[in-house]
Structures are given as C-alpha cells and as structure tokens.
Chains A and B, each alone.
Chain A
C-alpha cells in the first residue's frame, strides 16, 4: 500500500544506521596501494602537460587505483599547484593522545608530517611506534555518502509529503511521476513476487531504501569528479551485513530446522557445516557482486581513456572516446541492474528464509495473476 511508503521515518532510521556503521568501518577501506610510490607521482593530466618528454611512461594501474580507492582529500583535477583539491577533515583517535581533528591539507598530499603523523598512501601512520590510531576521518567516500543521503532525504521526504497532501487518488506530478513507477516496481515485482504472502509489506521500506541508496550512489559514481562509493567494499559489506541480519532475524522455524536438523539425520555432520557456510556465503556474494561490478566498470573506463597515454598517439583518441562512451552507457544500465539484483536477491533470501513447509504458499500466490 502506498500509505505504508509514507512512513519515511523508518527510512531515516535505516539510513542513520548505515551512516553509523559505515563511518566506523571507513578505517578499513583505505587499502594501501602497492603500485605507487610518492616520488613517481604521475597521472593522466600530468603526462598531458609534459608530453614533450617522450620517455615518460604512465602507470595506468596506479591511476586507475587512485580513482577507485578512497582518499583523505577530494581531488578534482590538475597536478601540483594547479590542482583543485578539497581537503577533508581528519578525525583520529589515538590511545596516547586521544581524539584529534584537523584538516587533511596539513599533510600537504603526503609530503609533510603533522603533529607526529604521516599520510602514507592514504593511511595515517604515527611516528611513535607505541601509538595505535583509529581513523574515523570523513573521507571522500563518506562525503559522497553525505551528499547522496541529503539527495535521498530531499527526494523521498518531498515525495512522501506530496502523497500526504494529495493522497493516492490524484495523478502524480513532478518528481513523483518519475519515482512512482520505480517504487511500485520494487513493491510489486521485487517484494511481493519474492517474499509473497501478506508479510512482504514489512520489508518494503528496507528494500526501497536499499534499492534507491544503491541506485543513486551508482549513478552519482558515474559522474567523473565524484567518488566511487558503491565500488568500495566497506560500503557493500555494511549493506550485505544488514541483509544477513534482516534475513536471519525473520527466519522461520523451518529455516533453522533445515540448517541444524537436516532430514536424513545420518548426514548431519556433513550437511550442517555446508548449510552454515550457505548462510554467510549468500550475503558475501552480494557484497562482492556489487563491489566488483562497480569497481570493475570504473577500471574499464579509466583504462580506455588511458589507452591514449599508453600509445601516446592522438589517433587512438577517437577510438578510445567511442569505447568510453559505449562503456559509460553500459554502466548506466549496470547501475540500474545491480541495484535491482541486490534488492531482488535480498527479497529472495528473506522470502526463502521466512517460508514455512515447502513452496505451497508461494506457488498459490504467484498462480493468481
């Protein structure tokens, strides 16, 4: 029912939970980049400025990883003094000095140390070996998430208010016209189809949140200067963990019996570990699928642009641009498809965990239309 969707309070709570979980897990997302060293700081635009020196080679792998990984400052374009870089706040908790906050510009892109700290390949290290640091910084990805959250809240609160004002009897207008079919799609073709029965309504707010959070972040990630949030494994990890919890907290007795007391009791020793692995491997696959699809797409785009700099020829540019355009359009499809697949598999897992005594209920429900 549409009136259920009006309860945007739930949406806000779930988003807030995502925020809290994600901000604490951001310290794991700063993977060290093995290919780079600070001294050879080439990038695409750098070599563009100095293409007179033909001996210079571009490390596309490094450039690609710089684009898909999280960082402590938001780099727009340019190199050195021409660069447009927004420095972001750094929040660290150390066991000796306590909570500290300062801007990332203090590090001067990893060239300077500040207050006894160094920024080495996007990981903050202390000069004091006894000090342990927990990094809660508002990194590029966290900033991007704030932006997408503001966008989501603005969109959906205003849509929900429009329904409150006019009800569901009048025709939708404005933003409503675009989002109503998507909301109906998630409710009817994802939730009702896969969860079935009359229990699906409880999960519609969660499924809608997941769908639009992934969709908006996928689409925002395609904009050249923005951050690659859904291609970050920490982000997809949090989404997958929430799905794991939702699935298992709503599981029926049959589901647990299936795991801990399988039918041929003699096979208990073999079947129980397999079923237990299955519980965790399903959300794990969700995590990897979204992360690898989006990160892989970004790597392909940057590699195609990078062909120009690998071959060092202007004639390769039309080919490269044509392929990039093609891949970018494909990525728009992937953005929608991955949001759909994540949401649909979540609904499928919830549906199969809640199922009681075989398929009879679901079959009866789906044969009606």
Chain B
C-alpha cells in the first residue's frame, strides 16, 4: 500500500476538528438544556463556531490534497 505523509496530516486535522466540533456541540447541548427558550440563537452561534473550526480543518485538507 502506498501513500504519503499528507494523509497523516489530513488525519491529524480531522482529530483536531473532531475535538473542536465535539466541544461546540456538547456545550451547545448543555446550553439548550439550561435555557430551551434560546435554542434558535444558540444553534446559530453553534453553527458559526463549528464553521470556523471546520474551516481550519479544511485548510489542512486542501494543503494535503495539493502536496500529494
């Protein structure tokens, strides 16, 4: 099986993004459980934060695609 070190990089980026998005989702769930009346607002903020974390992970994916 052949591959490149870029694949390892993509995997590491996935770990980072997984931790980040997991934290965001978990805490958003906590917040919604505490204050269900603010669900819509919390979800919006959650999606923005998740998009920012995901953006960093996607930079890593693009770099690993290009470096092959």
List residues of A whose CB falls within 8 A of some B CB.
34-35, 61, 193, 285, 288-289, 291-293, 296, 337, 340-341, 344-345, 348, 366
> Chain A at the B interface: mostly helix, strand, loop or mixed?
helix
A78 CB → nearest B CB, Å: 28
Q: How far is the CA of A285 from the CA of B41 in the complex (A)?
A: 23
Determine whether the beta carbon of B54 is less than 8 Å from that of A289.
yes
Determine whether the beta carbon of B51 is less than 8 Å from that of A348.
no
Instruction: Enumerate 21 A-B pairs (CB-CB under 8 Å) in ascending A order.
Output: A34-B68, A35-B68, A285-B55, A288-B55, A288-B59, A288-B62, A289-B54, A289-B55, A289-B58, A291-B62, A292-B59, A292-B62, A293-B58, A296-B61, A337-B47, A341-B51, A344-B44, A344-B47, A345-B48, A348-B48, A366-B41
Residues of A within 8 A of B54 (CB): 289, 293
Residue in B51, B59, B62 with the greatest tally of chain A CB atoms within 10 Å: B51
List the A residue with the shortest CB-CB distance to B40: A189
Determine whether the beta carbon of B59 is less than 8 Å from that of A193.
no
Q: How far is the CA of A358 from the CA of B33 in the complex (A)?
A: 30
* Number of inter-chain CB pairs below 8 Å: 34
Q: How far is the CA of A291 from the CA of B68 in the complex (A)?
A: 18
List residues of B whose CB falls within 8 A of some A CB.
41, 44, 47-48, 51-52, 54-55, 58-59, 61-62, 68
List the A residue with the shortest CB-CB distance to B47: A341
Determine whether the beta carbon of B44 is less than 8 Å from that of A193.
yes
B40 CB → nearest A CB, Å: 8
Q: How far is the CA of A366 from the CA of B52 in the complex (A)?
A: 23
Residues of B within 8 A of A344 (CB): 44, 47-48
Residues of A within 8 A of B62 (CB): 288, 291-292
Q: How far is the CA of A337 from the CA of B61 in the complex (A)?
A: 19
List the A residue with the shortest CB-CB distance to B54: A289
Q: How far is the CA of A288 from the CA of B62 in the complex (A)?
A: 8
Sort A-B residue pairs by CB-CB distance and give the 7 closest, nearest first.
Answer: A292-B58, A285-B55, A341-B51, A289-B55, A292-B62, A292-B61, A288-B58
Determine whether the beta carbon of A345 is less than 8 Å from that of B59.
no
Residues of A within 8 A of B48 (CB): 344-345, 348
Residues of B within 8 A of A366 (CB): 41
Residues of A within 8 A of B52 (CB): 285
Residues of B within 8 A of A296 (CB): 58, 61
Q: How far is the CA of A285 from the CA of B61 in the complex (A)?
A: 13
A307 CB → nearest B CB, Å: 14
B62 CB → nearest A CB, Å: 5
List the B residue with the shortest CB-CB distance to A291: B62
Determine whether the beta carbon of A289 is less than 8 Å from that of B51.
yes
B49 CB → nearest A CB, Å: 11
Q: How far is the CA of A288 from the CA of B52 in the complex (A)?
A: 11
Q: How far is the CA of A124 from the CA of B14 in the complex (A)?
A: 37
Q: How far is the CA of A337 from the CA of B52 in the complex (A)?
A: 14
Given A341-B47, A341-B51, A345-B48: A61 and B58 interface contact (C-beta under 8 Å): no
A211 CB → nearest B CB, Å: 15
Residues of A within 8 A of B61 (CB): 292, 296
Q: How far is the CA of A345 from the CA of B55 in the complex (A)?
A: 12
Residues of B within 8 A of A341 (CB): 47, 51
A291 CB → nearest B CB, Å: 8
B11 CB → nearest A CB, Å: 14
B55 CB → nearest A CB, Å: 5
B46 CB → nearest A CB, Å: 12
A327 CB → nearest B CB, Å: 15
Residues of B within 8 A of A61 (CB): 68
Q: How far is the CA of A293 from the CA of B59 in the complex (A)?
A: 11
